[in-house]
Amino acid sequence: AQSVTQLGSHVSVSEGALVLLRCNYSSSVPPYLFWYVQYPNQGLQLLLKYTSAATLVKGINGFEAEFKKSETSFHLTKPSAHMSDAAEYFCAVRGGSNYKLTFGKGTLLTVNP
Amino acid sequence: DTGVSQDPRHKITKRGQNVTFRCDPISEHNRLYWYRQTLGQGPEFLTYFQNEAQLEKSRLLSDRFSAERPKGSFSTLEIQRTEQGDSAMYLCASSSTGEEEPQHFGDGTRLSIL
């Protein structure tokens, strides 16, 4: 079975500041990990994915995430926040041949001018 | 590259009515998924198709819910005798073959039960 915990339901940063969104996972098999972003009244857009290749994964819009097996973490970062980054972010895990995604509860990112 | 398309975007209905949603996946994708998202929560898995075969169903999918993918292309999700608790966003996703392939989501159908 898989599970995801996203620490912090709401994160607020200033424009230009570092963005750090936390995700810890649990999986009984080697996981595939994903970050998605959701804008109001829209579906989920894939930001990046970890599939057992490089532990540091680069995604779209300047985001990246690092897979740390020892910490069971997959935190999302961006060096400099932009106003357009304001949205809800979801971390998701999938285990091996089990194709369903298990999502965290999401983190709402607010970017202040 | 057309993405996943869902119809309708919004559905308002009275309690007890039946509703049907449609999902058109990305054309070359043979896997299709349905999720439900309630306010303040992440999406929850409902069911999964590979081609026309429904391979997994969540216990969330009560006997009032049924999903089909008759020709392995578009899919429909039907809810019979809707209840207040069915109010949610229903998301469809698709992916191609391969364990590493990510799921691509549509914009969802928001269901409101009066």
Q: Per-residue pLDDT tens for B61-102?
A: 889 999 999 988 999 999 999 999 999 999 999 999 887 889
Q: Does the pLDDT value for residue B16 go beyond 80?
A: yes
* Average per-residue pLDDT for chain A: 93
B102 at A interface, C-beta within 8 A: yes
Please name the residues in contact with A25: beta carbons below 8 A apart, sequence gap of 6 or more: A2, A3, A4, A5, A31, A33, A72, A73, A74, A91, A93
Q: Is A90 on the interface with B (CB under 8 A)?
A: yes
**How far A2 CA sits from the closest chain B CA (Å)?**
12
Q: pLDDT value at position B83?
A: 95
Chain B residue numbers touching A10 (CB-CB < 8 A): none
Using pLDDT thresholds of 50, 70 and 90, give the confidence band for residue A1.
Answer: confident
Asked if the model's pLDDT at residue B4 lies above 80, the reply is yes
Whole-number Å distance between alpha carbons of A24 and A4: 6
pLDDT score at A51: 86
- What are A87's strand-pairing partners? A109
Neighboring chain A residues of B4 at a CB cutoff of 8 Å = 43
- At residue B1, does pLDDT exceed 70? no
Q: Looking at beta carbons, which residues of chain B come within 8 Å of A97?
A: 99
Q: Percent of chain B, pLDDT > 70?
A: 99
In this predicted structure, what is the pLDDT of residue B78? 97
What is the per-residue DSSP string for B65-103? EEEE-TTSS-EEEEESS--GGG-EEEEEEEE-SSTTPPP
Q: What is the reported pLDDT for B97?
A: 82
Rounded to a whole number of angstroms, the distance between the first and last alpha carbons of chain B is 37
Residue B14's pLDDT is 96
Q: Is A105's CB within 8 Å of B33's CB? A: no
Average pLDDT on B8-19 reads 97
Q: B103 to chain A nearest CA, in Å?
A: 8
pLDDT in tens, B25-46: 999 899 999 999 999 899 999 9
More confident residue, A99 or B46: B46
pLDDT 10s digits, A52-92: 778 899 999 999 999 999 999 999 999 999 999 999 999 99
| Closest CA in chain A for residue B55 | A99
Higher pLDDT, B1 or A51: A51
